[in-house]
Structure 1
């Protein structure tokens, strides 16, 4: 029994694919929120108490906050991808050790 082996090769491969897509998608969203993309205005959680005098500045702060959260989520996906890569290597090592014993 291999120590640290938690998931099989298919699950590890699925984790790699999903984490790669998650990093790409969330990094792009983080960039677009950071540059205050107008098409994402509906995804910014604007409160109802924003007054007209500070409206643009508050919206830009909310854009930056959501962009920052996207970058944090992308970092979590990087960790999941690294974990999946380790699992993939452990699975390959398990297969090669079983071939040596035969």
Structure 2
């Protein structure tokens, strides 16, 4: 693996990734359970409610789609965190070899 960033930026990447994974996983769970508090964050239009014979299923489908998007974003942040962790290890190895 190639050394791309220094130890401070890599540490910042791990901290941000850790927070993002926790936050997005919790949001994904809350969207998956169809939390009514998050209805404003669902891409719902008038046509979804009035143009459908069974609006609750449409709304639940939109909740599930947003939930999947949150879980995918959390997975991306896991990859970023792993990359940052590798960068920290490479920086420590470089520091060890220099001294």
Q: Same fold (TM over 0.5)?
A: yes
TM range (shorter): over 0.9
Any stretches of 5+ residues in structure 2 without a counterpart?
Answer: none
Is 2:29 aligned against 1:31?
yes
Q: How many residues are treated as equivalent by the alignment?
A: 97
User: What's the TM-score, normalizing by structure 1?
Assistant: 0.91
Shift of 1:53: 3.1
| CA–CA distance in structure 2, aligned partners of residues 23 and 46 of structure 1 | 25
User: What's the TM-score, normalizing by structure 2?
Assistant: 0.94
Shift of 1:4: 0.3
After superposition, the CA RMSD in angstroms is 1.1
User: Could you tell me which of 31, 44, 47 is aligned with 2:45?
Assistant: 47
1:1-102 superposed matches below 5 A: 4-50=2-48, 51=50, 53-99=53-99
Task: Looking at secondary structure, tell me which structure has more helix per residue.
Answer: 2
| CA–CA distance in structure 1, aligned partners of residues 91 and 62 of structure 2 | 43
Larger radius of gyration: 1
